[in-house]
Structure 1
């Protein structure tokens, strides 16, 4: 296991989730009706020398009331504090939004050889939008990214949703974005990584992907303690800049109850040299779950699990960003061959 994996495990943090409960007041009132009636006049307050008055609550034993004297869940009459994860379901992605970081907890997608062959969507017709399904006070706003120094980084890539304009438009909501370093990452190595995922459809009939941000600790050089620190952007500052990003890949063999080849990767939100091997960023699924506070394979029988990078070569194909942009903007491209992924799907974002 690499040093990075050990750091990932040792510094695991960021538990995400929400617990919903219900307060039942009727039974509480019925219980309280059995209490002794209140005195008509208040007795004098006890002094240090006078005897203490007995508790009005029935006792099972000394200091143990059978009916709790308090009702903490009564708070719910004013509202449930949360946390609440906003679940978003669209034709091209399903995601969970974190109201604290203003980033998704995770974004899930599904790609197939057919979905990448169909090309009815054009990103030139899509625009970045705020997500109206998120309450205004919690949503990420377009102005928050303005002159922030970070790209609006798709978690589910637009190029994976070209099969319809509606599907592609859904990927441009800010609830599918995180602040990403541009040159050297979002426009380069991360884009090559997304190309790698699309190329998996040449070997597997069905590929599912979950992508999301991480906020991982690093050792403070001054006191040697592990600490989580990250930048915050926006007006006012409210969008967290992730320290890392993860992808977990489920490459399915297409059979009912068949094998699933798993690959989990964690990349720093920073410039990465294009010659860096992708497998350097591979981590155990369990380490990613521990770091993210999420569960990815709880229902997947271990007998069905295979290791992706033992079945295929986990490596990226490097292509310059400017050339990639030129590729998807070239008009009159030849029609794709049926059942074959066109070359442009490996380069578009």
Structure 2
């Protein structure tokens, strides 16, 4: 969370829809009523990458406060939506424990299959291509209500919730990627020339696999979500980099 706490989340059960959860592998703001994270934030460098296989152990997060509904690994089954990782499995392959953490359901959103397996997989692979010479900070989240899986696209309908209404299907899925050469004192090294990739996609199965088509500015994502992204940076730096739309390579 070196770049900030986008929603001012707190580890207070009286703040159920902006509940801060900090894990060794990532941090997140969880919404009890939506059954999904508002955002997930993590750092990626070559030390996070190894030869560990996907653990595939989708499961309820035991850190969800007592008395709250716990989304299960089976909660998305039959919905037509993928269990879409926020922090990807492939970003945490240094140990079985680290990879397993990405399969907690607090790290998942109901994601249209082509959105998850196409567009987002392509961006995730591209992000990892910056290693080992660079390190990357990533913040991902979702907002709105109503996505379209393959059946919804065919029937021109929208699915608002799954799991008997206990998990909200988001309308949009976004991500911000900050790329830095490997070094120290990361926050102080982010400046007007730092590459910032921000995308905002519809949660639909008819989405293009080319993530570059969905580039936007951090400012636009903040406007849509009410979040304060990159708040850990000096205000003058935020003013410059948050208004830009990336035009760099996509492969």
TM over 0.5: yes
Task: Bin the TM-score by the shorter chain.
Answer: 0.7 to 0.9
Structure 2 gaps of 5+ residues are 1-5, 147-157
2:128 equivalent in structure 1: 198
Matched position secondary structure for 2:199: strand
2:168 equivalent in structure 1: 240
Match of 2:217 among 273, 284, 293: 284
Q: How do 1:137-152 residues align onto structure 2 when only pairs under 5 Å count?
A: 137-152=68-83
TM-align CA RMSD: 2.9
1:128 equivalent in structure 2: 58
1:154·1:172 contact (CA, 8 Å) conserved in 2? yes
1:161 equivalent in structure 2: 92
As a proportion of its length, which structure holds more helix? 1
Higher alpha-carbon deviation: 154-163 or 299-308: 299-308
2:229 equivalent in structure 1: 296
Q: Deviations over 1:50-109 (max 9, x none)?
A: xxxxxxxxxxxxxxxxxxxxxxxxxxxxxx854453322222211111111110011111
2:22·2:28 contact (CA, 8 Å) conserved in 1? yes
1:309 equivalent in structure 2: 246
The answer on 1:109 being equivalent to 2:42 is yes
1:273 equivalent in structure 2: 208
1:170 equivalent in structure 2: 101
Please give the TM-score of this superposition, normalised by the length of structure 2: 0.78
> Matches of 2:56 and 2:197 in 1, distance apart?
31
**Deviation for aligned residue 1:143:** 3.7
> Matches of 1:287 and 1:180 in 2, distance apart?
21
Q: Deviations over 1:14-41 (max 9, x none)?
A: x9667999xxxxxxxxxxxxxxxxxxxx
> Matches of 2:201 and 2:45 in 1, distance apart?
24
Please give the TM-score of this superposition, normalised by the length of structure 1: 0.57
Matched position secondary structure for 2:140: strand
2:152 equivalent in structure 1: none
**Deviation for aligned residue 1:175:** 0.4
> Matches of 1:201 and 1:309 in 2, distance apart?
19
> Matches of 1:156 and 1:258 in 2, distance apart?
24
1:231 equivalent in structure 2: 160
> Matches of 1:153 and 1:251 in 2, distance apart?
23
> Matches of 2:48 and 2:7 in 1, distance apart?
31
Match of 1:98 among 31, 36, 55: 31
Structure 1 gaps of 5+ residues are 1-14, 22-79, 218-228, 317-349
- Cα 1:139–1:85, aligned 2, differ >3 Å: closer, same or farther? farther
Q: Deviations over 1:216-252 (max 9, x none)?
A: 79xxxxxxxxxxx861000x31100011111011112
**Paired residues, what number?**
223
**Deviation for aligned residue 1:166:** 0.5
Q: Deviations over 1:136-186 (max 9, x none)?
A: 53321234212111111111100100011100000000000000111x221
- Cα 1:163–1:194, aligned 2, differ >3 Å: closer, same or farther? same
